Structure 1
């Protein structure tokens, strides 16, 4: 991965706050949901309901797809990322503490979560395997595929 490619990807991860995440449902269909995320380099973290469908899906299959993009009224300025990745529900206290710290830095209101809230929360780590960069500023539909 070239330095400019990595810079573009990291810029997208840092400046955006929301991703659409698709997990695999029991019937094999993808289930897309919206989640907030924080990143540590190319690794992403998000939090969700410990008993929710996303967690059940991830315990069955770690394969996910996701998109991250900016909202813009000018389609010539569309930028974003699409990833094929694996996701793991974190179990070790040190891992969940790290995920919470990263998310709390990006989303200040997460610092106020109670112990009861945290008991109902699952933290998930997402490791990209392939990243498709999208940058319409370089031309309509411009993409570049990068293996991680």
Structure 2
């Protein structure tokens, strides 16, 4: 699937990582059991191009990811003075972070990034910390009303058997 998509280069990694650091919310698309996609918005933190987010264990999104870890995400920056915008979309795999030390480290990052953390967290007491490792990245700019996109591959394609933990950024 990614054979004809060029690998991401350092300049693109830096630009996408900078965008992820500036923004706070991403749209997450998962696959429902009936085949229909489901899109929701979540707060996230980023470590390079790897994204982490929290979801309620009782949510449809959590059930979707447990059944099918393939996920797409999109992050969009605000408009510039001329209506210009930039954004990025991803396709990859999500998995729950279960290692207690990793969960605590991520919790501290969430608290630092989101002082009003309750705004971005599920209302349910039982939550899951999820890690999203993209395999495909599409950087998009909108300049003068025209979209310009560039797509890159990272590691293995979505749906591969390689664990997201082994994708290196």
TM-score per shorter chain, which class?
0.7 to 0.9
Instruction: Classify the secondary structure of the residue corresponding to 1:141.
Output: strand
**Counterpart in the other structure of 1:93:** 100
Q: CA deviation at 1:138?
A: 8.4
- The structure carrying a bigger helix percent of its residues is 1
Q: For 2:29 and 2:102, how far apart are their aligned partners in 1?
A: 23
Q: CA deviation at 1:58?
A: 0.7
> When the two structures are superposed, what TM-score results if normalisation uses the length of structure 2?
0.76
Runs of 4+, deviation exceeding 3 Å? 73-76
Q: Retained in 1: the 8 A contact 2:82–2:144?
A: no
**Counterpart in the other structure of 1:29:** 36
Consecutive unaligned residues in structure 2, runs of 5 or more:
1-7, 155-169
Consecutive unaligned residues in structure 1, runs of 5 or more:
112-116
Two-structure CA RMSD over aligned residues (Å): 2.2
Q: CA deviation at 1:140?
A: 1.5
> When the two structures are superposed, what TM-score results if normalisation uses the length of structure 1?
0.86
Q: CA deviation at 1:141?
A: 1.1
Instruction: Classify the secondary structure of the residue corresponding to 1:57.
Output: helix
